[in-house]
Amino acid sequence: MALRGPLFRLLRTQLGHTCHQSRAQSVAVLGAPFSKGQKRRGVEHGPKAIRDAGLIDRLSALDYSVHDFGDLNFHHLEKDEPYMDVKFPRTVGGANKMLSGAVSRAVGAGHTLVMLGGDHSLAIGSVGGHAQQCPDLCLIWVDAHADINTPMTSPSGNLHGQPVAFMLKELQDKLPAIPGFTWMKPFLSSRDLVYIGLRDVDPGEHQILKNLGIQYFTMRDIDRLGIQRVMEVTLDHLLSRKQRPIHLSFDIDAFDPSLAPATGTPVNGGLTYREGIYITEEIHNTGLLSAMDLVEVNPVLGANREAVEATASLAVDVIASSLGQTREGAHAAIDEIPSAKDDTEQLCL
């Protein structure tokens, strides 16, 4: 299923001036220290934890030109009353507007973008900013949760459980005019989205998934089919009609909590290390990854330093694998295997 070689490079040149292969040599890292999309504080420290786990050095070792643009400085309103039970709508909307512009500029400058969250409400701005430059993008959402509640179906009112609803054209008439979000319009069709790793889906979300015919794979599907088949179907679904840029939005809680304990909404029975890394390897092998999010690393919720470091280190592995780190390692080329005869002759001298 993975496309490689001359045909692949030809396909990538057809993606447009801001979505083509030259970006593969340059990575932009953008921190989004933001937590108002949910109740638990601490996820705003995620970008620092991921950088401290060695992200920049790891990407530099992959021979990328790495541009770390630091962290966005979000404005938090002192008074931001709920609207229809939606918490902090103006603050979340304003943060996503700022992020959208920053992502659009980075992608437009020819970088592959890595956005470090922060909570998953930030995907509204990250995917939206990417879509400004690459309107034909497709979205792979790796998460324990579907994050597709509308304000009317959300049990909590937390916007980190609603970002996909804001993106989808098919849900435009299901969303009220939320304060803080007048700047954005839906930009994604439901057929251009695939979920992987679901295991905690709200009733309203399940109805939306079924009604819109969205392609999704639960953990049961992964058990049943295997991760190789899941990725084959995912990439065929998104790329068979047209080769186009991929946005990967990866919530660290997609992994089993034994691997990623420092996160806000852990759910047992998640991805193994090997399954998660296989997902990112296959996405990289398409050559079409254009931007990605790594969200919901929350250092405050780690039971100890080891738990925090394990979660942040896993996040670095996910990002590096998405950008080409392989499990077989990167090896310097050698012209030929030395002969045992040569060694024997040396010993006799």
Give the pLDDT confidence score for residue 147 in this predicted structure.
Answer: 96
Q: Where are the alpha helices (DSSP H) in 242-304?
A: 273-286
Q: Where are the alpha helices (DSSP H) in 213-339?
A: 219-225, 227-239, 273-286, 305-322
Closest Cα partner for 204 from 169, 175, 224, 233? Answer: 175
Q: Distance between alpha carbon 132 and the CA centroid of its chain, in Å?
A: 17
Structure-token pair, residue 272: 């193994």
What's the total number of domains in the chain? 1
In a domain, 3, yes or no: no
Cis geometry, peptide bond prior to residue 118 (ω within 30 degrees of 0): yes
Of 145, 200, 202, 221, which one is the catalytic site residue? Answer: 145
In a domain, 309, yes or no: yes
**C-alpha dist (Å) from residue 200 to 151, 161, 254, 300, 311:** 18, 11, 10, 23, 20
Give the pLDDT confidence score for residue 4 in this predicted structure.
Answer: 42
Of 71, 200, 253, 275, which one is the catalytic site residue? Answer: 253
Q: Distance between alpha carbon 349 and the CA centroid of its chain, in Å?
A: 59
What's the domain range around 236?
Answer: 26-327
Task: Scan for tokens 């930009």, then name that residue.
Answer: 187
253 counts as catalytic: yes
Determine if residue 145 is labeled as part of a ligand binding site. Answer: yes
57 counts as catalytic: no
* CATH number (domain holding residue 245): 3.40.800.10
In a domain, 14, yes or no: no
In a domain, 1, yes or no: no
> Are residues 126 and 105 in contact, defined by beta-carbon separation less than 8 angstroms?
no
In a domain, 75, yes or no: yes
In a domain, 6, yes or no: no
Give the pLDDT confidence score for residue 340 in this predicted structure.
Answer: 81
Determine if residue 256 is labeled as part of a ligand binding site. Answer: no
In a domain, 337, yes or no: no
> What does pLDDT average to in each consecutive run of 10 residues of the chain (349 residues)?
39 46 75 91 97 97 95 91 91 96 97 97 98 98 97 91 96 93 96 98 97 98 98 98 96 98 97 98 97 98 97 98 89 72 60
> Are residues 117 and 87 in contact, defined by beta-carbon separation less than 8 angstroms?
no
**C-alpha dist (Å) from residue 302 to 49, 64, 233, 256, 263:** 12, 31, 35, 14, 7
251 counts as catalytic: yes
Q: Distance between alpha carbon 225 and the CA centroid of its chain, in Å?
A: 23
In a domain, 301, yes or no: yes
